[in-house]
Each structure stands twice: as structure tokens, then as C-alpha cells.
Chains A and B, each alone.
Chain A
Amino acid sequence: MNNTPRILNRILIGILGLKMLAIGLLLVLLATVPAVGSWWQHWSAGVWSGMSRLFQRTGIPGRDESWLWAVMALLLVLVIAAMVAWVAQQGKGRSSLLVAEDDAGDFPGSVRIGGGVAEQALRAALAERPDLAGATVATYEIRGEPALKIRLQPRHGVAPHLLAADVSALVEALDAVVGQRTPVLIHISAGARSRFSRAERVR
């Protein structure tokens, strides 16, 4: 429902996983197969000598440290910033407006209805139901369009299709009030609260 970047998540996790897998397998091979050890020493010594020559050529004038260290520190800062930005993308997409449009009438201005209207109305309508242990309503923005997510936590043994039909009727009543059909997702979930309650005997 939210705008978590799923493809990006999978690509980045996949890259990290492949790299760690390769490093781990290399270490295991180094520990077990002697031939790999001699190859590794030969190959990595060549790479390292090339790098150290590069470091010697790029010294800061007047000091013996290379400026490549500063470049490397900068690159690492960029990677860290990218990681923080990536984490900040997870679970985004909550919005506060249910309707925001120009009504094209004679008067200037636009119509805005806050998501709180739908949330309060549906929560109040669902509050008295004895077969629900909890209900939350949230407004999301999916590709610029507002959408509602209704999360229901029924008690044990409640038939989900009957519950969904009831809530769907409530949503249609809300459509009539708001004057717009927003996409609605009803998620009937087994929350922690219904797990610990003995609702078989309530009904």
C-alpha cells in the first residue's frame, strides 16, 4: 500500500548478498585449498603494488600523505548518505488529504478534504462492532492519487467475507458523503490482540 521502493530494495539487497557470498566463499577456499592460497597471494600482491604506486604518485605537495585518502573518505560519506536516504524511503506514502481538486465552478479556489474525515467516520462506524478487536484507517498517496487502507482485526472465528461485505457497504456510504470514489484496501489481519483474546465465547 505504501510507496516502499520494492525493486530498488531487491536490487540493493541482491548486490550486497552476492558480494558477501563471494567474499565468504573466497575465505572458505583460502582456508581449505592451498592452490587458491598461492593464487590469491600472487594476484592480490599485484593489485596492491599497483595501488601503492598510485598512492605515492598522488601525494599532497609538501606532505607524504596521498590526497586519495581524502577522496576515499568523501566517497564513503556519499555511500553512507545514500544508505540513509534508502532507509528513509521505506514505508513512505502516508498523506493527509482525501480529496484535493479544483471544482471548476464560478468561484476561485479548490476543494480539499482531509483524510481525517474518512478515518474518523469509518472508525466511529466500526467502533461498536462486537466482532472486531481493533480497526485502523489510514490515508495513503499512491502515484499522486489518494487511497484508503482499512485494517481490521477480527476476533477468532469471524467470517472474513461477511465482515468485508459490511465494511464495503460502509465505504460506499462514505463515497456518497465525500462525493468521490477513492481506491480502498481492506486488510483483514490477525493482529496480536485477537491472538490473546478468547473470542469464541464472546459471540
Chain B
Amino acid sequence: MNNATDVRSKGSHAAGNSSGAPAPDPRGAGMRRILDRETRSSRAGVSGIAAVLVVVLCGYGLLESAVRAIGQPPWLIDPETAAERIIALPQGMPPLLLGLIGAVTAMVGLFFFLNAVLPGRRARHLLADPRAGVVVDDEVIASALARRARVAANVIQEQVMVVVSQRQVTVNVRPTSGVPVSENAVLAAVLEELREMDPVPMPEVRVNVATAGVIGA
């Protein structure tokens, strides 16, 4: 598609302009670190869940071992009986239930592990500014682009949907039935807005004009 290559070259050009190498940041020495931290998830919520899980397990263990240490009868299960049951494991338990428990535990473990390993990039872009570090949620960029595309296509708000991701902007336009929408005009308007905005990283733009129109809009 001719438009797409045009867009790609423009996008890379703009990104090349903005990513010079200014060694001393005029916005303060810690700004690079602040921006890095703002565009990634801190995993605070998952950490809280993990800590609560460990606390609950340890709390139960604490109860049973304390009860045992002062020589009282156990609350739910005696540690020794529990150990014997665990040793005998494939016996004494329906294999379906055992497999199910194992699968659930493994899934929860995988969830925690992936949370620890994956980069956890947030849906945000950076804007250039001489004084302050600027972080913008992708949703804000999307609504600004949608407004521009809506004016260019001369349709109402509900007929334009913009999806912004890290490296791509998709503009979906559903034209009013009988009124043609110029794909190039929409693309040019969105590109113009993006060029003024200059987000980092600069995304590519794709415009989809639906073949079916909306009646009575």
C-alpha cells in the first residue's frame, strides 16, 4: 500500500530528529530515571498479592507450629500427619483433584513469574519538553487524534475509533452512507497532528475506512 510506506518513512524521520544524544539533561539529572520508571509498571499490586499470599501461608504454619511447641492439640492438621500424607501422595487422593490443584498452583506461579520477567511497559508515550518530563497516556493521544480525524472526515464522534499502541496508530472511520470519506485527507490530518505532538516512540499510522456506511448519522 502506497500510503503505508509513505507513513513509515515519515515516522522514522521524525523519530530520528527527536532522538539526538544530549548528554546533560536540562530537566535535571534524575529525569531520565523518572521517565524510565513512569513508562513501566512498578509491580506494586502484584507484590501486594504475593506478600498477602505468603503471609497467609506463614500465618497458618505459625499457628500450627506454635500450637505444637506448647504441646496443644492441632487446629486443622498435625504437622506430622500432614507430612505423612504428602509423602504418600499419589495415594489417598483422587488423581483428578491432585492434578487440578497442581495445575492451578502452576498457573498462579506462572502468573507471578511472568510478572517478574516481562518488561511491563505501560501504554504511555513521552513528549519532548525543554523544562519538564512529559508522559502521556495512549488514551489521551487517541482521543486527540480521533478529534482531528473526525474533523477531517466530517463525521460525528461515534464514527471514528482510534487505537494507539506503542508503535502503531490505527484509525477506523465509518463514513456516513452516501458521503464519501477521503482516506488520504484523514491520513494527512492525523499525520499532521502526530508530527506536532512528536511522541516518543513515534508510531506508524494506518487508516481504515469501512466499506459499509452508517445510515442517518
A residues near B, CB below 8 A? 1-2, 4, 6, 9-14, 16-32, 34, 37, 40-41, 44-45, 48, 51-52, 63, 65, 67, 69-70, 72-73, 76-77, 79-80, 83-84, 86-87, 90-91, 142-143, 145, 147, 150, 154, 156-161, 164-165, 167-168, 171-172, 175, 181-190, 200
Contacts of A172 in B (CB 8 A): 131
| Contact A31 B102, beta carbon cutoff 8 Å | yes
Complex CA distance for A57 and B99, rounded to whole angstroms: 37
Chain B interface bracket (under 10, 10 to 19, 20 to 34, 35 or more): 35 or more
| Contact A87 B47, beta carbon cutoff 8 Å | yes
Contact with A along B96-130 (1 / 0, CB 8 A): 10110111111111111111110000000001011
| Contact A188 B95, beta carbon cutoff 8 Å | no
| Contact A183 B116, beta carbon cutoff 8 Å | no
| Contact A200 B157, beta carbon cutoff 8 Å | yes
22 pairs, CB–CB < 8 Å, chain A vs chain B: A1-B34, A9-B43, A10-B116, A17-B110, A17-B114, A17-B116, A21-B113, A23-B105, A27-B89, A30-B102, A40-B90, A73-B65, A73-B69, A84-B51, A87-B47, A87-B51, A159-B196, A160-B127, A161-B197, A184-B131, A187-B38, A188-B137
Contacts of B185 in A (CB 8 A): none
Contacts of B103 in A (CB 8 A): 24, 28
Complex CA distance for A49 and B130, rounded to whole angstroms: 69
Contacts of B80 in A (CB 8 A): 52
Select one of B33, B46, B102, B131 contacting A24, CB under 8 A: B102
| Contact A168 B132, beta carbon cutoff 8 Å | yes
| Contact B44 A4, beta carbon cutoff 8 Å | yes
Contact with A along B140-154 (1 / 0, CB 8 A): 110110110000000
| Contact A87 B127, beta carbon cutoff 8 Å | no
B50 to chain A, nearest CB (A): 5
A145 to chain B, nearest CB (A): 7
Contacts A17-B110, A17-B113, A188-B135; A87 near B147 (Cβ below 8 A): no
Segment among B12-20, B55-63, B171-179, B203-211 that sits at the interface with chain A: B55-63
Number of cross-chain contacts by CB at 8 Å: 262
Assuming A161-B127, A190-B140, what are 17 further A-B pairs, CB within 8 angstroms?
Answer: A1-B38, A13-B47, A21-B106, A24-B101, A24-B107, A31-B90, A44-B87, A65-B69, A73-B62, A80-B58, A83-B55, A159-B193, A168-B131, A168-B134, A185-B34, A190-B137, A190-B139
Contacts A31-B102, A83-B54, A168-B131; A188 near B87 (Cβ below 8 A): no
Q: Give the interface SS of chain B, mostly helix, strand, loop or mixed.
A: helix
B170 to chain A, nearest CB (A): 17
The chain A residue with its CB closest to the CB of B106 is A24
Contact with A along B24-68 (1 / 0, CB 8 A): 000110110111011010111011101111110011011001101
Residues of chain B from 159 to 182 with CB closer than 8 A to chain A in the complex: none
Contacts of B95 in A (CB 8 A): 31-32
The chain A residue with its CB closest to the CB of B135 is A187
Complex CA distance for A23 and B104, rounded to whole angstroms: 10
A200 to chain B, nearest CB (A): 5
Contacts of A10 in B (CB 8 A): 43, 115-117
Contacts of A48 in B (CB 8 A): 83-84, 87
| Contact A79 B58, beta carbon cutoff 8 Å | yes
Complex CA distance for A77 and B48, rounded to whole angstroms: 18
